[in-house]
Chains A and B, each alone.
Chain A
Amino acid sequence: MTADPVLIVGGKSDIGLALAHRFAQAGHPVQLAARNAAALAPEKADIEVRHGVPVTVHELDILATGTFVAFLDGLPELPGVAVCVVGLLGEQPASEADLDAAALTMRSNYEGPALLTGLIANRFEARGSGTLAGISSVAGERGRASNYVYGSAKAGYTAFLSGLRNRLARRGVHVVTVIPGFVATRMTEGMDLPKRLTAAPREVAEAVFKGVAGGRDVVYARPVWRLVMAVIRAIPERVFKKLSL
């Protein structure tokens, strides 16, 4: 029996590649979508050699929303599982001062991912099956001075995924919201992250894989984050606004 193909949107990222390997290990053919997809040739070879599954690479710019329909039409087949890993941390001070910088962060983390996820969801709904997983962020659970532009876009994506899940719950399509917490990736390289709260990309991939297989709704890569975020959400705004978290 061959497993359903998995589509990884953001296939060049550390989490995206870890996901591709995890699904390939379980026998899923892989569709990797990213900007400058031709540069993914060694990754394609690596996944094929290690796991013996076919890998296709597809050009996709998450900001080019006008290309999304053609992109989906160009896939070898509609995947059984689609994971959207795209994200851009951006720089908060730049996003405060510069509308374009803020817009880029908002579009990369909300507009593009949400529109594409929504489009795939419609095709899954028409088919009557499929699982969507979206990588959102703890930053989306409460706005903080240090990264609220990024956080607000992720909050939007989290709400979008939650609504989509609600809409499709009785249509055979499942939606998983993934909240990774800190992850040691290219995005966070050079940051001083607390070890106990920081997952490796491989851990996130394992959590997503299990979440997809087990039909989970919201997946935290490290369970400790569920507690951390419950505490952070519980702090009254009166107090929270004076904190620097």
Chain B
Amino acid sequence: MMISGWGRYPRQDCVVNRPRSEGEVRALLGAGPMIARGNGRGYGDCAQQQANTVEMLRFNRMLSFDPATGQLVAEAGVLLKDVIDTFLPRGWFPSVTPGTKFVTLGGMVAADVHGKNHHRDGSFGAFVDWLDVLGADGEVRRCDAESNAELFGFTIGGMGLTGIILRVAFRLRPVESGWIRQATLPAPDLDTAMRLFEEHESATYSVAWIDCLAGGTSLGRSAIMLGEHAAAWELPDRLRSAPFRTPRRKMVPVPFEAPSGLLNHITVKAFNAAYYHGHARDRGTRLVDWDSYFYPLDALADWNRIYGGRGLLQFQCVLPLAAARAGLGELLRTISASGQGSFLAVLKRLGAAQSGTFSFPMEGYTLALDFPVSPQTLALMERIDRIVLDHGGRFYLAKDSRMSAETLRASDARVPDFIATRRGFGATAFQSSQAERLQL
């Protein structure tokens, strides 16, 4: 069947298996290349393989929860949404969450996802206690920081290329409410935005929406959003009696594919300008429910369709701290000059913590962009790849759908070690389309 990642590019005709048990997964081993797939929220081709894509959504059971430590043990196909639905009413929230709750735990481990608290708490891997990983030899290995530590380190952020993740033990964090105290700070240019990130490094959550089309003295114009879990006493009276009861958001479907030209220079520029000025007016602190705060796009079911039939390209890089100002400036100037506006562009300060051996994050600034697929945007991305390489940055594989193997190698000195370790594990059969493209 035809499948793709969330960016709907590239689409491939893949054999998709949907095993129900460990035995059924084991029966799929040994017949050529295969890759595990969760809920298909990786953007590119990281969870597809024409010969054998193993969809893990039927591994969706929670196995135990320890209220003393917040540790949840669950099968890899459990959705983060189900974790929140189950545990937020009891006062627990994921320690790290990406920008959508429709991801599986296995996918979160494989991509070692990060969230708005990376600068303080690190990535998801920092909260993983142990994993059960099925190897090509049919053995299930429980791995953690002490036993099978190498497998543990390379599986976190290993993009599913070390084996099939079956079970995940990870820690939730206690919260007193389902509300986030959000403060929005306007930053008229890039220097201000970066200064605000550094000034607010103690904030639990911080992220900036950035206007990629603003040029000149407005280059890097941003709205920085800080957030803290609201304590029960901080809630107004009407919310305090049921601090976890937040309004249920209605899902708004995107019922059809937008014409590919809908997101053009003019509409994106208008949207971005309106968004900035809206936030600049809206400054100050307010209470936002968890769903709207962490997952604004989840309310728009199938939002990826607004990019039209050709799909969307995501791009996310991180630049090391020392080179971040120069690199971001050049990236933004290049994008602004190209006129290929990114509808959603996000800037975030990442911290120094490193969980997985091959994980994406490093201390510095990460910039995430998305563009409708077109020859122009593909060419633009080649140019911005170059800028990232020149500044010592690297790329987030969960977003990538088109990078070359050479670019990856030039960006990341860890690649040869990753490949050698994969061989050592006998794990080379775990091979996504992305891994084939990147020659991992």
Q: Which A residues form the contact surface with B (CB < 8 A)? A: 42-43, 45-46, 49-50, 186
B75 within 8 A of A: yes
Contact of A42 among B72, B75, B82, B86 (CB under 8 A): B75
Give the chain A neighbours of B20 by CB distance below 8 A.
186
Q: Can you sample 22 A-B contacts with CB below 8 Å? A: A42-B61, A42-B63, A42-B75, A43-B61, A45-B61, A45-B62, A45-B63, A45-B64, A46-B60, A46-B61, A46-B62, A46-B63, A49-B62, A49-B63, A49-B64, A49-B65, A49-B72, A49-B86, A50-B62, A50-B82, A50-B86, A186-B20
* Identity of the chain B residue whose Cβ is nearest the Cβ of A186 in the assembled complex: B20
CB-contacts of B50-95 with A (<8 A): 60-65, 72, 75, 82, 86
Chain A residues with CB under 8 Å of B75's CB are 42
CA distance in complex: A182, B153 (Å): 46
Minimal beta-carbon separation of B132 from chain A (angstroms): 12
- Chain B residues with CB under 8 Å of A42's CB are 61, 63, 75
Count chain A CB atoms within 10 A of each CB in B63, B64, B86 and give the residue with the most: B63
Q: Is the interface of B mostly helix, strand, loop or mixed?
A: strand
- A65–B20 alpha-carbon span in the complex (Å): 30
Residues of B in contact with A, size category: 10 to 19
Known: A45-B64, A49-B63; 7 extra A-B contacts, CB below 8 A, are A42-B75, A45-B62, A46-B63, A49-B62, A49-B72, A50-B82, A186-B20
Assembled-state Cα–Cα distance A46/B49 (Å): 30
The smallest C-beta distance from B63 to any residue of chain A, in angstroms, reads 5
Cβ contacts under 8 Å, A50 to chain B: 62, 82, 86
Bound complex: CA A8 to CA B60 (Å): 20
Q: Report the minimal beta-carbon distance from B166 to chain A, rounded to whole angstroms.
A: 11
CB closest residue in chain A, given B62: A49
A42 and B74 CA atoms in complex are apart in Å by 10
Please report the C-alpha to C-alpha distance between residue A143 and residue B142 in the assembled complex, in whole angstroms.
53
Residue of A nearest to B86 (CB): A50
Chain A residues, Cβ within 8 Å of B82 = 50
Nearest-neighbour CB distance to chain A for B58, whole angstroms, equals 10
4 closest Cβ pairs, A-B complex: A46-B61, A49-B62, A42-B61, A45-B63
Chain A residue contacts of B61, Cβ below 8 A: 42-43, 45-46
The chain B residue with its CB closest to the CB of A17 is B61
For the complex, give the distance between the alpha carbons of A42 and B72 in Å. Answer: 14
**Chain B nearest CB: distance from A103 CB in Å?**
29
Q: How far in angstroms is the closest Cβ of chain A from B5?
A: 24
Q: Given the complex, which residues of B lie within 8 Å of A45, measured CB to CB?
A: 61-64
A122 to B20, CA, bound (A): 37
What does the 1/0 interface line of B319-359 toward A look like (CB < 8 Å)? 00000000000000000000000000000000000000000
Instruction: Name the residue on B nearest A42 (C-beta).
Output: B61
> Taking the nearest CB of chain B, how far is it from the CB of A143, in angstroms?
32
Give Cα distance in the complex from A142 to B65, angstroms: 48
For residue B80, give the distance in angstroms from its CB to the closest CB of chain A.
14
Which residues of A lie under 8 Å from residue B86 when comparing CB positions? 49-50
Q: How far is the CA of A46 from the CA of B86 in the complex (A)?
A: 11
Cα A42 to Cα B77 with chains together (Å): 13
B172 → A minimal CB distance (Å): 12
Minimum CB–CB distance from A145 to chain B (whole Å) comes to: 31
How far in angstroms is the closest Cβ of chain A from B75? 7
A43 to B75, CA, bound (A): 11
Minimum CB–CB distance for B411 against chain A, Å: 41
Distance between Cα atoms of A18 and B65 in the complex (Å):
21
Query: Which residues of B sit under 8 angstroms from A43, Cβ to Cβ?
Result: 61
CB distance from A38 to the nearest CB of B (A): 14
Cα separation A186 to B63 with both chains bound (whole Å)? 22
Chain A residues whose CB sits within 8 angstroms of the CB of B63 once the complex forms: 42, 45-46, 49
Give A15 Cβ to nearest chain B Cβ, in Å.
15
Query: In whole angstroms, how far apart are the Cα atoms of A186 and B24 in the complex?
Result: 14
Complex CA distance for A45 and B64, rounded to whole angstroms: 7
User: What's the least CB distance linking B242 to chain A, in Å?
Assistant: 18
Within 8 A of A (CB), among B244-292: none
How far, in Å, is B144 (CB) from chain A's closest CB?
A: 20
- A13 → B minimal CB distance (Å): 12
Contact partners of A186 in chain B: CB under 8 A: 20
Q: Give the docked Cα–Cα distance between A49 and B20 (Å).
A: 20
Q: How far is the CA of A18 from the CA of B351 in the complex (A)?
A: 42
A18 to chain B, nearest CB (A): 12
Q: In the complex, what residues of B have CB within 8 A of residue A46's CB?
A: 60-63
- Give chain A nearest CB distance to B25 CB in angstroms: 14
Alpha-carbon separation in the docked complex, A42 to B167 (Å): 12
Nearest chain B CB to A59 CB, angstrom units: 19
Shortest C-beta distance, A182 to chain B (Å), equals 19
- Please name all residues of chain A whose beta carbon is closer than 8 Å to the beta carbon of B65 when the two chains form the complex: 49
Given the complex of chains A and B, what is the CA–CA distance between A42 and B59 in angstroms? 10
Complex formed: what's the CA distance from A243 to B111 in Å? 54
